[in-house]
Structure 1
Amino acid sequence: MFKNFKLVPNIIFGRGCFAQLDEIIEKQREDIDSWVVFVTDDVFKGRALEKRIPLHDNDLLLWVNVDDEPKTGYVDELTLKVKAYRSTLPCAIIGIGGGSSMDLAKAVSLMLTNEGSSTLYQGWDLIQNPAVCHMAVPTLSGTGAEVSRTAVLTGPEKKLGLNSDYTVFDQVILDPELIKDVPKDQQFYTGMDCYIHCIESLEGTYLNEFSKAYGEKALDLCRQVFLNDHPDRDDKLMMASFFGGMSIAYSQVGACHALSYGLSYVLGTHHGIGCCITFDYLDEFYPEGVKEFRTMREKCNIELPRDLVKNLEPDQVETMITVALGLDPLWENCLGPDWKNIMTRDKAKSLFLKM
């Protein structure tokens, strides 16, 4: 069977297009009582962007903290806050921020229309009801969260996304001006998430011409940004993120993302830096990609954390392994249908102990 996946139906791209957000949202405000929730990274509190958010009298500005990776408990807490704010559902949820903020916006929009805790929906196609209309305004580029069908969450037992066609954003606002002041190291980590998406997709067993077309273009854009330091780097990185997300929509990521999920689940390591730490030890699987990644890292003068796993308790390492090996599609894309005979628990442990 071929995947019949959903695409983001509405996209606006261009420097300054954030100014059109109010006009875009207005189409969802059907009557005088309609209201909107802005799920916004609290790093922007008191900054210029806060004053530009088109907040109406009935709307809720929901500041979210993403110092930690998004957790199911936090999603449930935010959902209750939205439900308590007014008796009716909001007409739209707008996620403003990086991948974590966008994933929180996705998750809240889903949990407003699906009963119970978000832990019940960690997996593939478990969501039963369509979400509230939800839109994304990325202020970081690389994760592909703006185009993906998943909201990645860490739960009490696993790190796994709410993977569903209902998760896909209804509208994305891509304004390169919003990423111009991102700190160099943070831009590198999120940009490398995109780069690694492309390597895993292009070298995976699930590869097809659809994924290849998007992946090759995203990879080219990443090289222009991180090797050539192109003057239009913000525009290019924003499109690389979008294309990189599209590449894995019809294929899959691989070993790096699987292992980084285990690392993140136990240590709370943020996704972008977790992928970088992991990828640096995967020469065996992606030799040319790792070599080029190291060149980019050196050019950008980025030092990665080392020896994170060295002093962990044995049961913590075992938990990392269990989480990582629970992502069957990622390993099959990397190693093929016989992956369980290749990526054993001992093999995974040896990789983790290098980190």
Structure 2
Amino acid sequence: MHKNFKGVEKTVFGRGSFDQLGDILAPHRTGENPYMVFLVDAYFNGKPLESRVPAQNNDLVYYISVEEHEPTTEQIDTLRDEILAKQGLPAGVVGIGGGSIMDIAKALSLMLTNEGSSTLYQGLNLIKKPGVYHVGVPTISGTGAEVSMTAVLTGPEKKLGLKCEWTVFDQIVLDPDLIATVPRDWWFYTGMDTYIHCVESENGQFNNAYSHAFAEQSLALCREIFSKGQTPETDEKLMVASLMGGLSLTYSEVGVCHALSYGLSKILGTRHCYANCLIMNHLDDYYPEGVAEFKQFVAQHNITLPQNLSAEWDDDTITKMAEVSYNLPHMWNHAIGYDWKNTITMDVLKDLFRRL
């Protein structure tokens, strides 16, 4: 069956567009509790952007650190319960930050209207009710979280997204000025997430003319961006490449690198984009052309990716990572085919992790 997915309803792009956020939110401040919840990356606490957040007197503003770990089901459930107990159902949720903040905002929007733990909804089309109005304002580009229909959460048993058409943002604000302060290494890691999205989307059985069109343009932009480095012009182009990469994987799928990345992140807490780079560096036999170009980018930008990490892992740790990766059939179906279990065994996965 062909995918019938919902896209972001409204998008504003351009330098200074963040200043339109207050006007964008104004018509949605309706209902019994016309207040907004702002989820802002803690990086901006005390920085100039803090004074530009258009919060009103009754709004709730949370500065959330994403340095320690990626979004968790416990984090979302706790935040949801606190907000509802404090002020009731809000009119909307606004996420201002990187991919993790985007996922937290999407997940919170859904869980404000759905009962029980978010662990109950990790998977495809398990959400029962639409969430509240939600807006994404990315301050780092590459994850594609601003346009994807998935809010990836790490739970007690698995790392898997809340995935349905209601997950998608109602509005996104793409202001290239906001990504100017991204540290160089993370500019590279998140940008490579976009590149890897497209390589995996293109190299699998679900690739099609629609997903290919987005991937082709996103890859062209990535090659231009990473041949030049970070400049105001390439920041603008990376924002567009991220969006297109996210749309490509939405109508196709990700593959081997992301499946392994989920295992690494779930068990060791490695941040997603960095985990993808660690793994992509060792997947020559799955994506030979993509890995060769990836290594060129790494060398060109003097990025150091550690080697022999697996020497510090015992067999139990590697087995747990392999189990997480094995239980992502949608990714393996795309990358290998519906008979993937004939070739992707637990032993194969453990050997892949031992390459790191």
TM class by shorter-chain length?
Answer: over 0.9
Q: Which amino acid aligns with 1:342?
A: T
What is residue 210 of structure 2 aligned with on the other side? 210
Give 1:305 deviation, angstroms: 2.5
**SS in structure 1 of the partner of residue 66 of structure 2:** coil
Give 1:313 deviation, angstroms: 2.5
The separation in 2 between residues aligned to 1:307 and 1:323, in whole angstroms, is: 21
What is residue 137 of structure 1 aligned with on the other side? 137
Question: 2:97–2:138: 8 Å Cα contact kept in structure 1?
Answer: yes
The normalised TM-score by structure 1 is: 0.98
Question: 1:215–1:244: 8 Å Cα contact kept in structure 2?
Answer: yes
Question: 1:33–1:58: 8 Å Cα contact kept in structure 2?
Answer: no
**SS in structure 2 of the partner of residue 310 of structure 1:** helix
The separation in 1 between residues aligned to 2:306 and 2:17, in whole angstroms, is: 37
The percentage of aligned residue pairs carrying the same residue is: 51
> Which shifted more, 342-351 or 144-153?
342-351
Question: 2:33–2:91: 8 Å Cα contact kept in structure 1?
Answer: no
TM-superposition CA deviations, 1:111-163 (whole Å, max 9, x none): 10000011111111100100010000000000000000000111001111111
What is residue 242 of structure 1 aligned with on the other side? 243
**SS in structure 1 of the partner of residue 312 of structure 2:** coil
Question: 2:141–2:190: 8 Å Cα contact kept in structure 1?
Answer: yes
Give 1:309 deviation, angstroms: 2.5
- Summarize the alignment of residues 1-355 of structure 1 with structure 2, pairs less than 5 Å apart: 1-30=1-30, 33-67=33-67, 68-87=69-88, 89-229=89-229, 231=231, 232-355=233-356
The separation in 2 between residues aligned to 1:252 and 1:203, in whole angstroms, is: 9
Aligned length: 354
Q: Which amino acid aligns with 2:310?
A: V
TM-superposition CA deviations, 1:241-263 (whole Å, max 9, x none): 00000001111000000001001
The separation in 2 between residues aligned to 1:310 and 1:270, in whole angstroms, is: 20
Give 1:347 deviation, angstroms: 0.9
Q: Which amino acid aligns with 1:177?
A: D
The normalised TM-score by structure 2 is: 0.97
Instruction: Quickly say closer, same or farther: Cα 1:242–1:80, change in 2 above 3 A.
Output: same
The separation in 2 between residues aligned to 1:31 and 1:212, in whole angstroms, is: 42
Q: Which amino acid aligns with 2:214?
A: Y
**SS in structure 2 of the partner of residue 252 of structure 1:** coil
The separation in 2 between residues aligned to 1:115 and 1:332, in whole angstroms, is: 32
**SS in structure 2 of the partner of residue 218 of structure 1:** helix
Q: Which runs of 5+ in 2 are unaligned?
A: none
> Which shifted more, 229-238 or 142-151?
229-238
Question: 1:36–1:90: 8 Å Cα contact kept in structure 2?
Answer: yes
The separation in 1 between residues aligned to 2:337 and 2:237, in whole angstroms, is: 32
The separation in 2 between residues aligned to 1:14 and 1:116, in whole angstroms, is: 39
The separation in 1 between residues aligned to 2:109 and 2:230, in whole angstroms, is: 37
The separation in 2 between residues aligned to 1:190 and 1:238, in whole angstroms, is: 11
Q: Which runs of 5+ in 1 are unaligned?
A: none
The separation in 1 between residues aligned to 2:55 and 2:249, in whole angstroms, is: 34
Question: 1:224–1:230: 8 Å Cα contact kept in structure 2?
Answer: no
CA RMSD of superposed structures (Å): 1.1
